[in-house]
Amino acid sequence: MSLTTLHKTFWDNITASSTRTNAILKSLDHMVWLILGLLIVGIFVLIPQVFRNVTSLQIILHGSVALGFLVLAESLCLLSGHFDLSIGSIAGFSAIFTAMAFSGSHWGVISHPVVGVLLILTIGTIIGTLNGLSVAKLGVNPFLQTLAFLIIFRGAMLTLTTSPIYQLPAAYFAIGNTPAIAIGLLIFSYLAFAYILRYTSFGMGVYALGSNEKSARSVGINTDRLVILVYAVSGFLAAIAGLILSGYAQSVSVNTGDGMVFPAFAAAVIGGISLFGGRGKITGALGGVLLLGLVQSALNISGVGASEVQMINGLVLLFAILLYNSKSKLREKVLQGSV
Amino acid sequence: MPANPTPTTTAASEDASQSDLIRFDHISKQFGNIIAVEDISLSVKRGEILALVGDNGAGKSTLMNILAGVYPQTSGELYYDGEPVSFSNPGAARSFGIETIYQDLALMDDLDIATNIHLQQFPKRFSLGPIEMIDWQEANEATREVLEFLNLDLDPGLEVEWLSGGERQLVAIARSILSDPDMIILDEPTSALSVAGTDLVKETMLQLKEDGHTQIIVTHNFEEVLNVADRIAVLYQGELVEIVDPQTVDRESLSNLITTGQRTP
């Protein structure tokens, strides 16, 4: 049998079914938009006041910006086959450290808002880099490393101060407090990362790392450097979330960034980012952010109490995990040709 | 140690010649107290397909890894095109035109064929400092060309998880030939394949030979290389015991060479 005939036989056997199954798999990857659509319809019917005007939509989006940056940080880690439990603590610690550097009743060593922005971003990036160094160079398990940093930096916040800090420059707060700036920054960041992940060798390296780290190393990718870079960028994005949270609340406290890591996970997973790396789109993660923002807003408008909201957040996380499991199983079946 | 190493090793040793692309000159490799490869001298001629055959622990993978730059030899000299060389890492070997396709193929199932093929080096549109912007149009075109060369009718955008074993092997080969290397090392290329997949890969090896690529096939199953290899180098317990002609060698004695280090049981 000639080489061409052999290839043709091979390919003919799978081509017919592959188009249909490929379409099923693609639609699974974009499931978030269908869920979001259904949610919007459901809210329109049950709680129409959520969408009463443009301002209410703006409020929902504005309230989701900080979470959006944490989701972006988490998505990057997940895509690379890693994860970061410390993003909430990084956001909170970098915010409180910078606030104390500003505040006259604390250290009062800086006054210019630009210096403050640079400081908060530097702190976040340094903590992220330390996460990366520990995971890549010392071989510490990412779960344990970032869990340790979650606890360390949450504890460090309490050590630094227990009282909220309000007196910070208006221009420093403006980034998180001005809806147009905050929402614009979020959308720009998602578009930039969507582009970077698709069109740069760094982005493809992240996917390769998440898909198969050993293979990525075999083909010559410097996986250690990439892991460090991913965690550094994750810390940087978490610090932006800290900056947004500071401005949004017009204050920084020990609660800044607290309890946000699991919603960030949920949004990323609902958005189609694989828990095991190598698969998913950043734009899908943005869909996850919008979905969680809508749920949060609907709960607030419905007068659901804070403790119930916490419980519902847990249910959303469970939903995300169940959704991921169902997708994985369906994907397996589709690839085996039984669907 | 081979049962009768002296005469066969001497017979197997070769002198360098003008057409040698690679020459292992008295290469040994030790891992602690374990001698994985001992005093191997062997040449690989330009354009030939040489099969490195041996049982588990024969030293064939160690020899391959030395050539691929995975680790250095403990002693001896490695020559590339007549010049002594030393590869400190796989990238260094690659820069000399030596590509290795490992048994696990090092493919990323979640990524498409074009990405898998170009991961080592994407065509760039431009660079912004350390950030390199990928030229996907060129990457896809280059992928189509190399797939066409291998007679593979596949969409560059197809994810690798869709491919059969034979096709996966050919995608790994496609990645290796993208940089037009002088030498391709294939580690157990057909061990996990069906009969059809094995035929597909063998045909491709012969096609690569026609195209001037020198190949080393590392395998424990000599049957798989009898009709593609120009020569078969048999390793036993870290030593080169004999180089045989696959056209004339008796299968039984070759089997004995592999399992006992001797031609006759």
H or E stretch covering B99: strand B98-101
Look over chain B and give the mean of its residue pLDDT values, rounded to a whole number.
Answer: 88
- Contact (CB<8Å) B152/A208: no
**Which residues of chain B lie closer than 8 angstroms to A3, CB-CB?**
151, 200, 203-204, 207
DSSP secondary structure code for residue B74 in this structure: S
> What is the pLDDT tens value at each position of chain A, 339 positions in all?
444 454 555 444 545 455 666 677 677 778 889 889 998 889 888 888 888 888 888 999 999 999 999 999 999 999 999 999 999 999 999 999 999 999 999 999 999 999 999 999 999 999 999 999 999 999 999 999 999 999 999 999 999 999 999 989 999 999 999 999 999 999 999 999 999 999 999 999 999 999 999 999 988 899 999 999 999 999 999 999 999 999 999 999 999 999 999 999 999 999 999 999 999 999 999 999 999 999 988 888 888 888 888 888 888 888 888 888 887 888 777 777 655
Orientation of helix A201-211 relative to helix A223-249, angle to 10°: 100
Residue of B nearest to A279 (CA): B110
Q: Are residues A231 and A131 in contact, defined by beta-carbon separation less than 8 angstroms?
A: yes
Beta bridge partners of A248: none
The one-letter amino acid at A171: A
> What was the ipTM of the complex prediction?
0.81
* Alpha-carbon gap: B151 to the closest alpha carbon of chain A (Å): 6
Is B148 an 8 Å CB contact of chain A?
A: no
Distance CA A320, CA A313 (A): 11
Touching A: B residues 65-84, CB under 8 Å: none
Distance CA A278, CA A328 (A): 13
* Alpha-carbon gap: A207 to the closest alpha carbon of chain B (Å): 8
- Contact (CB<8Å) B200/A219: no
What pLDDT was estimated at residue B256? 92
Distance CA B114, CA B126 (A): 19
The two structure tokens encoding residue B92: 């260094």
CA B119 to chain centre: 19
Nearest to A219 among B120, B200, B203 (CB): B120
Residue of A nearest to B93 (CA): A220
**Which residues of chain B lie closer than 8 angstroms to A4, CB-CB?**
151
Q: Is B36 exposed, middle or buried (0-12, 13-18, 19+ CB in 10 A)?
A: buried
Secondary structure (3-state) at B242: strand
Residue B5 has pLDDT above 50, yes or no: no
What pLDDT was estimated at residue B131? 83
For CA atoms A42, A46, A47, A49, the dihedral sign is positive
Residue B70 has pLDDT above 60, yes or no: yes
User: How far lies B246's CA from each of A149, B33, B241, in Å?
Assistant: 61, 35, 15
**Which residues of chain A lie closer than 8 angstroms to B133, CB-CB?**
199-200
Residue of B nearest to A337 (CA): B162
B70 closest CA partner among B36, B43, B121: B36
Q: Are residues A204 and A57 in contact, defined by beta-carbon separation less than 8 angstroms?
A: no
* Alpha-carbon gap: B190 to the closest alpha carbon of chain A (Å): 16
Distance CA B34, CA A146 (A): 40
Nearest to B119 among A10, A208, A335 (CB): A208
* Alpha-carbon gap: A217 to the closest alpha carbon of chain B (Å): 9
A175-178 long-range Cβ contacts below 8 angstroms, 24+ apart:
A175/A117, A175/A243, A175/A244, A175/A247, A176/A65, A176/A66, A176/A243, A176/A244, A176/A245, A176/A246, A176/A247, A176/A248, A177/A247, A177/A248, A177/A250, A178/A247
Residue B52 has pLDDT above 80, yes or no: yes
Residue B17 has pLDDT above 70, yes or no: no
**Which residues of chain A lie closer than 8 angstroms to B174, CB-CB?**
none
Touching A: B residues 105-124, CB under 8 Å: 105-111, 115, 119-120, 122, 124
Nearest to B109 among A6, A211, A214 (CB): A211
**Which residues of chain B lie closer than 8 angstroms to A216, CB-CB?**
108, 119
What pLDDT was estimated at residue A257? 96
Distance CA A15, CA A12 (A): 5
Domains and CATH numbers, chain A: 29-334 (1.10.3470)
Nearest to A7 among B134, B153, B175 (CB): B153
* Alpha-carbon gap: B16 to the closest alpha carbon of chain A (Å): 31
What pLDDT was estimated at residue A22? 65
CATH topology (fold) of B5-97+181-260? Rossmann fold (3.40.50)
**Which residues of chain B lie closer than 8 angstroms to A8, CB-CB?**
153
Is B104 an 8 Å CB contact of chain A?
A: yes
Q: Where are the domains of chain B?
A: 5-97+181-260, 111-179
CA angle A242, A245, A251 (to 5 degrees): 105
**Which residues of chain A lie closer than 8 angstroms to B196, CB-CB?**
6, 9-10
Q: Are residues B127 and B212 in contact, defined by beta-carbon separation less than 8 angstroms?
A: no
DSSP secondary structure code for residue B215 in this structure: E
Looking at chain B, the whole-number percentage of residues with pLDDT higher than 90 is: 69
**Which residues of chain A lie closer than 8 angstroms to B102, CB-CB?**
218
Query: Averaged over B201-230, what is the pLDDT?
Result: 93
Q: Are residues A238 and A91 in contact, defined by beta-carbon separation less than 8 angstroms?
A: yes
pLDDT per position as a tens digit, B132-175: 899 999 999 999 999 999 888 899 999 998 898 889 999 999 99
What pLDDT was estimated at residue A332? 78
Nearest to B200 among A6, A218, A278 (CB): A6
Residue B13 has pLDDT above 50, yes or no: no
Interface of A with B (CB under 8 A): 1, 3-4, 6-11, 14, 18, 22, 196, 199-202, 204-205, 207-208, 210-212, 214-216, 218-221, 274, 278-279, 335
- Contact (CB<8Å) B107/A210: no
Selected residue of A12, A211, A224 to mutate for chain B interface (largest B Cβ count, 10 A): A211
Q: Model confidence at B14, in pLDDT bands (50, 70, 90)?
A: very low
Residue of A nearest to B194 (CA): A10
- Contact (CB<8Å) B108/A212: yes
- Cβ pairs A/B, distance under 8 A: 101
Distance CA A15, CA B159 (A): 13
B100-103 long-range Cβ contacts below 8 angstroms, 24+ apart:
B100/B64, B100/B68, B100/B176, B100/B184, B100/B185, B100/B187, B101/B169, B101/B172, B101/B173, B101/B175, B101/B176, B101/B184, B101/B185, B101/B186, B101/B187, B101/B189, B102/A218, B102/B187, B103/B187, B103/B188, B103/B191, B103/B192
Of A313 and B187, the structure prediction assigns the larger pLDDT to B187
